[in-house]
Structure 1
Amino acid sequence: MIPEHQLRQIALFKELDSAELAKLGAVIQERRIPKGSYIVYEGDPGPSMMFLLEGKAKVNLVSPEGKEIVLANLDKGEFFGEISVLTGEDRSANVVATTDCRLLVFPADEFKRHVSQYPGLAFAMMKELALRLRASSEKIGDLVLYDVYRRVARTLKGLAKLVAVGDEEKLLIEERPTHQELANMVGTSREMVTRALKGLEEDGCIIIDNKRIEVRKMPI
């Protein structure tokens, strides 16, 4: 039985009442996944949706030559696996734990039953899918319309979060990705990302401090 306070950490469940959450908690299971492990493999059957209770993960595809493309980065409270659950098809991408993770696993048949019973859950799902479609459209637009410099800038801005530092708030990436990881996110080479980061730093758009990046005014 998953307790209510844990379920409320999931954005999709925040607006549900206690009675609804109690029913969800009875059918959802918990799993722990170590850093670096595959949670989902492309092409596998998709019998469940999954929610990140703790940790971070990435959604990727890997070419036959071994080149990785990162489709999305997932944080605490987000979900994945919805495409297979809704379409009945196999998994469309891999999901890899980038930190140790705690997952909530929602069986597909139970998810469909609860969505049909609780309009609030269905609406929250539609809203989140619309936001993801918008993000995908923006990423495609970035690839078509922007050079690497601006694609890196937009990716960094998307990764950054407001953090209180003393008496002010700064837009920070507290665990900066490697140059190769950034290259996988924006669809370019590591060398091009290195040049773009150097240019952004010289232009005063970012400050790189050890493992952190402070994001300032971006050329986007």
Structure 2
Amino acid sequence: MKPKVEETLRQDLLNLALRLRFFSLLKELSDENLFTIAKKVRELSLKTGELIFDENDEGDDLYLLEKGSIKIKKETPFGEQILSRISEGDFFGEMNFIDPATRSADAVCEEDCQLFAVKRSDLEHLFERSKEVAVHFYWQFWKSLSKRTREANNLLKTFFEGSTSSPKPPLSQEEISRSKSISIELDRKIQLLQDRGLSAKELRLLAAFSKEELYNRDDLIFREGDEGDKLYIILDGKVRITKHIPGAGEEALAILEKGDFFGEMALIDNQPRSADAKAHVNGTTVLTISRQVLNEILSVDIESAYQFLSILCRILTQRLREINLKIIQWRLMSGGF
């Protein structure tokens, strides 16, 4: 290749890397890792109304929006239901990146858009070489999924905005005291965590530093609006995640079972709990992990941090898909308003 052509290609790559620095997802990467991604991204220019991907698409690309605005929507018999909007500097498509499946909604340009796309396989190769980069990406994914899950929870309320409901008070001491601190053998806790695919170091840390709590059916574990400083893992029984819909009562968002995590969103964004958590059956036992212990787990070993964050993101992805389906169901039940 001629020197002049090589210089032009290098300059083009440098300019592209500088544009990619605009994104919060990428701005903390080293120059080497940023250039690796710059060599793999595809640049897309789309017009208003053009489809980026549609529901049931099997693609797993991750997208970064440089210019324009994008809506994530589902079609209903009453027209489209917008689930979220993507602004300049945001990324999207991470749900299929984290947990490959068919797309659960359409992504459509609301105005002319300039964006980048990168294949899952290309990023996975980078993650294999650098677990630090993988942890950085999955930390950002966790933050994004937590934000979108909160937005989806709040969207449920909009179908009944005309109804009134008094805010629920914080948990009383009587309600708090219903949980019983218990002691469980280390081997039993380790067996549970092995079922979640955690590493040996994570197993030892979580088993050693987690505490156990016992609840009976319908006991509150936490309430919407409470401050959150714990992550929970179900050891035995089931937990019901619910949202109070004004004028409609309690709506179950998810029934979680043995080995499932919950309460993790409050640890990433320091926001109040966005839903209630209740024991669904008698004898529900949960392990609790404080914010401090979680930070220690994530800092002690990069491989453990990667595995742990991967699991959390996969759980949140599946939960967000379920909530989005609830939104469509409530849209239909409310007569399309």
Question: TM-score normalised by the shorter chain: which range applies?
Answer: 0.5 to 0.7
- Of 57, 62, 85, 2:97 maps to 85
1:103 aligns with 2:118: no
3-state SS, counterpart of residue 104 of structure 1: strand
**Structure number with bigger Rg:** 2
Supply the AA of the counterpart residue of 2:145: L
Query: Can you list the C-alpha shifts for 1:110-163, whole angstroms capped at 9, x where unaligned?
Result: 01112232334323322232223322442354356675279xxxxxxxxxxxxx
Deviation at 1:90, TM superposition (A): 1.6
Q: 1:175 aligns to what?
A: none
Q: Is the 8 A contact 2:56 2:105 kept in 1?
A: yes
Supply the AA of the counterpart residue of 1:68: E
- Of 15, 19, 27, 2:28 maps to 15
**Alignment RMSD, CA only?**
3.0
**Structure 2 CA distance for aligned equivalents of residues 98 and 144 of structure 1:** 23
**Structure 1 CA distance for aligned equivalents of residues 100 and 156 of structure 2:** 31
Q: TM-score, normalised by structure 1?
A: 0.61
Supply the AA of the counterpart residue of 2:118: F
Query: Can you list the C-alpha shifts for 1:156-182, whole angstroms capped at 9, x where unaligned?
Result: xxxxxxxxxxxxxxxxxxxxxxxxxxx
- Of 75, 82, 105, 1:62 maps to 75
**Structure 1 CA distance for aligned equivalents of residues 150 and 33 of structure 2:** 35
Query: Can you list the C-alpha shifts for 1:94-125, whole angstroms capped at 9, x where unaligned?
Result: 10111111111101210111223233432332
Specify every segment of 5 or more residues in structure 1 that has no aligned partner in the other structure, as ranges: 151-183, 193-220
Q: Is the 8 A contact 1:16 1:120 kept in 2?
A: no
- Of 30, 33, 36, 2:49 maps to 36
3-state SS, counterpart of residue 88 of structure 1: coil
Q: 1:159 aligns to what?
A: none
Q: 1:25 aligns to what?
A: 38
Change (3 A) 1:139 1:48: closer
Query: Can you list the C-alpha shifts for 1:66-115, whole angstroms capped at 9, x where unaligned?
Result: 52211111011111122222322121211011111111110121011122
Q: 1:94 aligns to what?
A: 106
Q: 1:118 aligns to what?
A: 130
Q: 2:87 aligns to what?
A: 75
- Of 15, 40, 46, 2:59 maps to 46
Q: 1:181 aligns to what?
A: none
3-state SS, counterpart of residue 22 of structure 1: helix
Deviation at 1:61, TM superposition (A): 0.9
Q: Is the 8 A contact 1:15 1:120 kept in 2?
A: no
Q: Which moved more, 1:14-23 or 1:79-88?
A: 79-88
Supply the AA of the counterpart residue of 1:21: L
**Structure 1 CA distance for aligned equivalents of residues 21 and 155 of structure 2:** 36
**Structure 1 CA distance for aligned equivalents of residues 45 and 89 of structure 2:** 15
After TM superposition, which residue ranges in structure 1, 4 or more long, deviate above 6 angstroms?
none
Q: Is the 8 A contact 2:40 2:122 kept in 1?
A: yes
Residue identity (%): 22
Provide the aligned length of Structure 1 versus Structure 2: 157
Q: TM-score, normalised by structure 2?
A: 0.41
**Structure 1 CA distance for aligned equivalents of residues 30 and 100 of structure 2:** 29
Q: Is the 8 A contact 2:63 2:116 kept in 1?
A: yes
